[in-house]
Chain A
Amino acid sequence: MVQVNLWSGLRRLADGNQVVAVEARSLREMLDALLRQHPGLEPVIRAGVSISVDGVIVPDLNAPVTEASEIYLLQRIKGG
């Protein structure tokens, strides 16, 4: 199981949870599993999120994840 950390504002869309455990081997599988478990997160994912894995933003949905990975969903950030 992979532990996904959500930001606290998403708690009410994830049945009060800030950390959600899902079965996944890649970031794509992780997002799909999150949405199956908590369909209320759909507008958030659709608006675009950045995903941090072990402290580094990983843009590739094919990237692997394991149960030891530290995963955070973050707001999209770009810059000027």
Chain B
Amino acid sequence: MAKDDTGVRYKLIGTRPDRPDGLDKVTGRARYGADISAPGMLHAAVVRSPHAHARIRGIDASKALALDGVKAVVTRADLPTGLTGEDWNLQENTLAGEVALYDGHAVAAVAATSKLIAQEAARLIQVDYEVLPHVTDVDAAMQPGAPAIRPGAADYSVPEGMHPNVVKQIDFGHGDVDAGFAAADLVREHTYKTEATHQGYIEPHACLGQLGADGRGEMWVCTQGQWYIRRMCAAVLGIEAANLRVTPSEIGGGFGGKTTIFMEPLALALSKKAGGRPVKLVMSRAEVLRATGPTASASMDVKLGMTRDGRVTAGSVRFRMQGGPYIGSSPVGEALSCAFACYDIPAVHHLGYEVLANRPKAAAYRAPGSPMAAFAVESLLDEMCRELGLDPIDTRLKNAAREGTKASYGPTYNRIGFVESLEATKAHPNLKAPLGPNQGRGVASGFWFNHGGETSVSLAVGEDGTATVSVGTPDIGGSRASIGLMTAETLGIPYENVRVNIVETGALGVNEPTHGSRATFASGLAAVEAARQAIATMCRRAAAEWGIDPEAVEWRDGAAHPAGPNAGKFPPLSIAEIGAKMGSTGGPISGHHEVTAGGYGASFGVHVVDVEVDPETGRTTILRYLVVQDAGRAIHPAYVEGQYQGGAAQGIGWALNEEYVYGADGRLQNPVFLDYRVPVASDLPMIDTVIVEVPNPGHPYGVRGVGETGITPPLPAVANAIAAATGARLRSLPMSPPKVLAAIKAGRG
């Protein structure tokens, strides 16, 4: 039974009932993006550029069209012209126009009566390329002589004289950093680099699209945001949003990579060209890695000043990030804003650049930008603590941001839980576990803003008193269960009597995707409001039946009660009793809530990792891993723990093994999981978790988003642990065995 700091006890909030999707998922009943068929269905295949940068001189599809079973081929010529801004970027990424911009960039698509015929047809489509020089490294892309990928793409922010690949500059800060560094006893400055990684969801992108000559269509797709998919497909294809209904499937992971479109418009365009027959498009793993949205790669300079007793006097960062060949894809702004967000530093300066490169269009990946920034800042902080002989947790406590601190990115924090998270970490038994030879411990902290966004939710009372909640946020982390718990708590009915459904774009007002750790917060808040509206209606129905004033009715334990002795002696009317007669007492009973939700609260986390590094191979083994993070209020603690563990697992993979490897030809060398190495169950120990609860005043139950913060501390925590175990400090990711071994050997002299 959960208890908040006012002493209120909840019946359901904080309990761990069975997840509503559990049986479906373990029996194979759950229907994912590829688990759908329709009569007359065709299968699609995509032709992709094998060059990192090439002019497209011509496309000849005649041999493909002559193949028996082929029903349609589309190229950029089939799409409308005249788009601008991000809509143009999306259309250009869906099908290349004049230039292929990265290895894997889609150039044409074909629909046929079987997948094999479609793939054969794709091979028969001849594309005449003129190969152009390419650049894939973020620093190299800024140097004189680097090929200009799209001259003129820079926005208002870039000063004169920078390479045309630099498309954005961001600059902000406060205080006098020069004075701050002058006041420090120790000033250190280093450069840190991270490589591009992929969100690594198990389920590849898949959809079934159908579009008629009348411009009306439907799509079944695995997505984090069906309204975004609808709007983006409508823009790219030149159709009206209301004419496209998008239904989200069950989703096998997203982490940000499924908040946007990559190939969905192709299924619709092919369908229209094939006379309106439905077209199924499923990406292979190689296509996912080559041509969806990995995260950015980053090159970051950090400078910190610290007094001998551990007070940070000034901080300055200079970040360079590439997110592919389009403006606005890299999270450099977010990275800068997160860099010092955990701390109360009187003088800070942030400068960042977004740089174009011949790589796929980056998409969001779990707290975009924050993990890279944390790797840089938390590593340098650790280096300086070691140099001064200071405890890493005490130093963070000394500098911690609290309520009333001016954030590094400007506004003043209200209620936040960083100090509580540090104190809970300090008290944890993992900190006392003994360490043997070649073993070391690393500590790091992390932060994410979280988000609110457009939210629309409906709740309906059934004739039997059960409740159906329609939400627009696909469930990637347990939101159906947590929204069910919040709704049941508000209505005062059993959790099993609430069913939460994720609905299609025709059924609710616009919803932002499940991103920014917003689903449990925003859809939950709206579900609570919708439940309160339904409660108000049910109280009015009871009042009418009893012949008393509605103000004299209160709702308690799933029933309407007369409020106080003066209201009259009536037995309670349960939700089931009211529901059974709603048709004759005023009509169906429901509640709705639409809002662009504000009032969300940031989530801070602290990770502690113990590693053992094999001095002969450089292989790092995770011995022990602790995640401590502020959830505001854990509605369903098992899901919160799962988010903490999942974020840590992805961060460990990013820290130790994962990277996009490009050859000299600009082609991705490791586009399958055999060579793009994510952690599997046998790689990791059980990850320990501690849920800290500092309720967010902006939510009826105190919820803070939790999904993203967990991936931000692991990169520096693992780097700090490896430094402790070996004496070797690595400043570029991943810290794979060859690199660790080289660093150990260099240290030995």
Interface on A for B, CB 8 Å cutoff?
A: 5, 7-9, 13, 43-44, 47, 52, 54-60, 70, 72, 74-80
Q: Give every chain B residue within 8 A of A72 (Cβ-Cβ).
A: 410-411
CB distance from A53 to the nearest CB of B (A): 8
Q: Is B412 at the interface (CB under 8 A from chain A)?
A: yes
CB distance from B714 to the nearest CB of A (A): 16
Docked CA distance A58–B598 (Å): 6
From 393 to 417 in chain B, residues with beta carbon under 8 angstroms from any chain A beta carbon are: 407, 409-414
CB within 8 Å for A55 and B411 given contacts A7-B171, A9-B172, A43-B155: yes
CB within 8 Å for A9 and B412 given contacts A43-B156, A79-B515: no
CB within 8 Å for A79 and B414 given contacts A7-B171, A8-B171, A56-B698: no
Q: Give every chain B residue within 8 A of A59 (Cβ-Cβ).
A: 452-453, 596-598
Docked CA distance A74–B256 (Å): 21
Docked CA distance A76–B255 (Å): 19
Return the chain A residue nearest B697 by Cβ.
Answer: A56
Q: List 25 A-B contacts (CB under 8 A).
A: A7-B171, A43-B156, A47-B155, A52-B410, A52-B411, A55-B411, A57-B452, A58-B598, A59-B596, A74-B409, A75-B170, A76-B333, A77-B333, A77-B449, A77-B451, A78-B451, A78-B453, A78-B515, A78-B516, A79-B256, A79-B364, A79-B448, A79-B516, A80-B366, A80-B367
Q: Is B330 at the interface (CB under 8 A from chain A)?
A: no
Q: Are B333 and A75 in contact (CB under 8 A)?
A: yes
Q: State which size class the interface on B falls in.
A: 35 or more
Q: Are A77 and B334 in contact (CB under 8 A)?
A: yes
CB distance from A57 to the nearest CB of B (A): 6
- The answer, among A8, A47, A57, A74, for a CB contact under 8 Å with B173, is A8
CB distance from A19 to the nearest CB of B (A): 11
- The answer, among A9, A57, A78, for a CB contact under 8 Å with B170, is A9
Docked CA distance A30–B455 (Å): 25
Q: Are A80 and B259 in contact (CB under 8 A)?
A: yes
Q: Give every chain A residue within 8 A of B17 (Cβ-Cβ).
A: none
Q: Are B171 and A74 in contact (CB under 8 A)?
A: no
Q: Give every chain A residue within 8 A of B197 (Cβ-Cβ).
A: none
Q: Are B172 and A79 in contact (CB under 8 A)?
A: no
Q: Are A9 and B411 in contact (CB under 8 A)?
A: no
Q: Is B248 at the interface (CB under 8 A from chain A)?
A: no
CB distance from A45 to the nearest CB of B (A): 11
CB distance from A69 to the nearest CB of B (A): 11
Q: Give every chain A residue within 8 A of B364 (Cβ-Cβ).
A: 78-80
The CB with the most chain B CB atoms within 10 A, among A9, A47, A57, A80, is that of: A80
Q: Are A5 and B410 in contact (CB under 8 A)?
A: yes
Return the chain B residue nearest A6 by Cβ.
Answer: B172
Q: Give every chain B residue within 8 A of A9 (Cβ-Cβ).
A: 157, 169-172
Q: Give every chain A residue within 8 A of B155 (Cβ-Cβ).
A: 43, 47
Q: Are A60 and B409 in contact (CB under 8 A)?
A: no
Q: Give every chain A residue within 8 A of B517 (Cβ-Cβ).
A: 79
Docked CA distance A76–B512 (Å): 14
Q: Is B257 at the interface (CB under 8 A from chain A)?
A: yes
CB within 8 Å for A80 and B255 given contacts A59-B452, A72-B410: yes
Return the chain B residue nearest A9 by Cβ.
Answer: B171
Q: Are B598 and A60 in contact (CB under 8 A)?
A: yes
Beyond the given A56-B414, A77-B334, A80-B364, please list 11 additional residue pairs across the A-B interface where CB-CB is below 8 A: A7-B410, A13-B156, A47-B155, A57-B452, A60-B596, A75-B334, A78-B453, A78-B512, A78-B515, A79-B364, A79-B515
